[in-house]
Amino acid sequence: MNFATSFPVRIAGLVLLLLVALLAALYGVVEVAIGGAVQNQLQRELGVGARVVEQLLDARGRRLHDAAQALAADFGVQTALASGDRTSLHLQLAGRGAESNAEVLLLGLDGHLLAGTLPGMGEAAVARLAGQLQGQASSDPWLLLPIDGELFLLAAAPAKAPQPIAWVVTGFAVDAAFVSQVRALTDLELTLVAVEQGTPNGWVSSLPSALHGALHRAIMAADFASGSRWLEQGGQRYLGTWRSLASGPDYQVLALLHKSLAQAEAAFAPLTRNFLLIALAALGVALLGALLLARSLARPLRELVRVAERIGQGDYQTPIASVRGAALGPLAQALQGMQAGIAERERQLVHNALHDPLTGLPNRALALERLGSAITAGRPTALLYLGIANLRSLLENLGTAAIDLALQQLARRLQATLRPGDSLARLVSDEMLLLLEHCDNDSAVAAADRLQQLLLKPMHIGRQRISLDCAIGIASFPADGLTPDDLLRRAAIAMQDAARQPERLQVYQQGRDAAHQRQVGLVRDLQHAAERGELLLHYQPKLDLREGRVSAAEALLRWNHPQFGLVAPSEFIPLAERTGSIQSLTAWVIAEVLRQLQEWNGRALHLQVALNICAEDLRSLELAERVAALLARHAVAAGQLLFEITESAMMDNPEQALEVLQRLRACGIRLAVDDFGTGYSSLAQLKRMPVQELKIDQSFIRELSEHGDDAVIVRSTIDMCHSLGLKVVAEGIESPAVLELLRLWQCDSVQGDLLSPPLAAAAFEQWLRQPPALPRLDSS
Ligand code: C2E
Ligand code: MG
Ligand code: MG
């Protein structure tokens, strides 16, 4: 039985149950009341019965007394008495007794039985009778006396001549007939018992013979202590009471009255019967009502349960048919409201799961799904992966609200360019994807170019002008991949490559995937390289051409990768710069250089060591503080340390870079411009920098000849530096001829493979102690 059926049935059952309980309680109360009334009635009837017995005996006794008086005055009796003739006396008494239907006795005043109609009367009985007559009060006209096991009602009158000469006694046995008469009068059961010397001696009773056993036991137990007692036998119950009717010195006469409980209860039987009939009728009506209620509830409930199941299975669209019944109407309406609410929330959830909340554009998941559909349908599709390179710095400068507005504006701009069937998605915060269907590589490049023209236009957010630096990478299906993941990854690689191109546009190059995998591995492992002991420093000597000796070196970082072997700094340093781990690398290099300097100082090898720092390091204002602390800890003079900074690193954020450099310089650390000639720094800028050295980039040095273009640049740079008070270092010396030229042009120091390639610390130390003879090196 399902809920819709069982619920109304339960309600109906409960109603019935309550009614049954109520009726049972009522019945109980009525029964208790009837029980009490029956008992009261019984008590009252027994009381009345007892008085009836007493009055009946009194009436009979008075009649006997009258008869005794009449007999005492009777002439015949007096004559027979005077004659003293016993026979005639007996005849007289028998005759009179027969007339009045009573026993007659004549008793001498001395207590001798003179004559009588009770032939076998024993002496003890005569003596008891005489004793009672003598002690009898004149107000008591009769007496009850057990005589030889029978109970007699007796009355006496004196026979006078003229003085009393004898007692005339009349009487009769109080027997079953008397008892029956009382029963007929009172509707009560009467038992008369004579108790002689404490022992019951003869009784007569109207109680049914079935109860005689119990009655006998009660009499034998002389259990008359309390007013009323129950008598029970064979399922019959009688309530009884007793009265003492007469008593003498050695006897007592008791009347026991009983009334049947069943008989008394019979009077109330119609009441109980009517009550039960009414209860039955009420139950019937209630049952009918409950069944109707259950029926009227079950149908709409079944409908509502069906609706709830349907909603549970995710069907929120089917409208709920109107539900009859005032009770369930609001519930159905609530369900309808709930269904609509759930449908709306589910739609919202599905939308949120597949869309970017800021721009409302499809998200990565939906983009991949759409790409998947295009692939399944075999539609050539171009992916334009758009990355905003400067979003992070814009966010830092302008705040989230402005950037959110800019992104929304960007989304609108891009959407406006879409053709039907194309889609635009926001993948992550600063990356978007355009899917251009039925688009080959050339059309994709053209589209990307148009987009870039559009994106070059600055946006106006409030009073701010925002220029986004967007790079676009292009990958196409099917040329660059057959799965959405592959295509997306390759478009992202192309975008990263594009970010390093001046035109900010790059089509995916075959094979970049493997290179990218290597890059991903390097980026991942770079963070742990220092702690895993994979980093080391190589030292390349710098020859001071004026002094003709090596008193300085450049520390160059090496990474011994467990999988890729020795990785060149030109590969991992740019990665570290892009992924934010360069500062920890620099920190390691500084610490290692200082440790090494302390070690060499300890061995009386006093060198000046140069190390390379980049743009990211110049963002930290605390750099100088940290270096100063390390210098102190390793007891190394600040003058032994030289920081090389490329021109481009200084140009990134010139104000801040200048501040950091000044602080370093204030500590006593020497500074040099590295790779001079590759950037765009002007002489004016150079003059502002607190540098002491300038390193001419090796691209000018390696192929240097006396009359080439490079010679002009190198010579004028040397002259210019000297006039600015800077020392000049030429790096990348590979031939003795170049070395000779530089010496001629007054270059201060040289560095290059001609002297020595970068060497591990021990090898470098070894080299220093035994430098190889260089051509004309000693001739200075
Ligand atoms: P750099 O600072 O200009 O260092 C000089 C580079 O030129 C070194 O390459 C050195 O081995 C190389 N070199 C020197 N003489 C010659 C020569 O005669 N012929 C040739 N072909 N090459 C020569 P390396 O060690 O591969 O380092 C490349 C660049 O990586 C460095 O250029 C520097 O910019 C960067 N780098 C190296 N170590 C670090 C570091 O610890 N921190 C930072 N931020 N950058 C570093
Ligand atoms: Mg350098
Ligand atoms: Mg250099």
**Separation of 683 CA from ligand 3 center, angstroms?**
19
Pocket of ligand 1 contains residue 674 by CB under 6 Å: yes
Interacting residues of 171 by C-beta distance below 8 A, sequence separation 6+: 64, 102, 103, 105, 152, 153, 154, 155
- What is the number of the ligand closest to the CA of 696? 3
Q: What is the mean pLDDT of the chain?
A: 88
At 778 the pLDDT is: 45
Taking CA atoms only, the protein residue closest to ligand 1 atom 22 is: 732
| Mutation to probe ligand 1, out of 540, 542, 556 (largest number of atoms < 8 A from CB) | 556
Taking CA atoms only, the protein residue closest to ligand 1 atom 10 is: 758
Sequence ranges of the domains in the chain: 314-319+326-353, 355-510, 540-557+583-756
Pocket of ligand 1 contains residue 569 by CB under 6 Å: yes
Residues surrounding ion ligand 2 at CB below 5 Å: 612, 644, 674
Does the domain spanning 540-557+583-756 belong to CATH 3.20.20.450?
yes
Pocket of ligand 1 contains residue 752 by CB under 6 Å: yes
- Quote the tokens at residue 360: 């409302």
| Mutation to probe ligand 1, out of 579, 590, 612 (largest number of atoms < 8 A from CB) | 612
**Separation of 567 CA from ligand 3 center, angstroms?**
18
Q: Give the H or E element holding residue 759.
A: strand 759-760
DSSP state of 122: -
At 225 the pLDDT is: 53
**Separation of 556 CA from ligand 1 center, angstroms?**
6
**Separation of 655 CA from ligand 1 center, angstroms?**
26
- What is the number of the ligand closest to the CA of 552? 2
Pocket of ligand 1 contains residue 734 by CB under 6 Å: yes
- What is the number of the ligand closest to the CA of 642? 2
Give the integer Cα–Cα distance in Å for 144 and 192: 11
At 774 the pLDDT is: 64
**Separation of 631 CA from ligand 1 center, angstroms?**
24
Q: Is the pTM of this model over 0.85?
A: no
Pocket of ligand 1 contains residue 480 by CB under 6 Å: no
At 138 the pLDDT is: 67
**Separation of 599 CA from ligand 3 center, angstroms?**
26
- What is the number of the ligand closest to the CA of 568? 1
How far from chain centre, in Å, is Cα 314?
A: 24
**Separation of 564 CA from ligand 2 center, angstroms?**
24
Interacting residues of 650 by C-beta distance below 8 A, sequence separation 6+: 615, 618, 657, 658, 661, 673, 681, 685, 689
**Separation of 572 CA from ligand 1 center, angstroms?**
12
Give the integer Cα–Cα distance in Å for 631 and 620: 18
Q: Please name which of 425, 393, 396, 397 lies closest in space to residue 411, comparing C-alpha atoms.
A: 425
Pocket of ligand 1 contains residue 753 by CB under 6 Å: yes
- What is the number of the ligand closest to the CA of 577? 1
At 685 the pLDDT is: 74
Taking CA atoms only, the protein residue closest to ligand 1 atom 21 is: 732
Interacting residues of 31 by C-beta distance below 8 A, sequence separation 6+: 272
Q: Give the H or E element holding residue 4.
A: helix 3-72
- What is the number of the ligand closest to the CA of 701? 1
Residues of the chain with pLDDT under 70: 1, 3-4, 138, 222-227, 321-327, 681-683, 774-780
For residue 695, the ligand 1 atom closest to its alpha carbon is 3
Same fold, 355-510 and 540-557+583-756: no
Does the domain spanning 355-510 belong to CATH 3.30.70.270?
yes
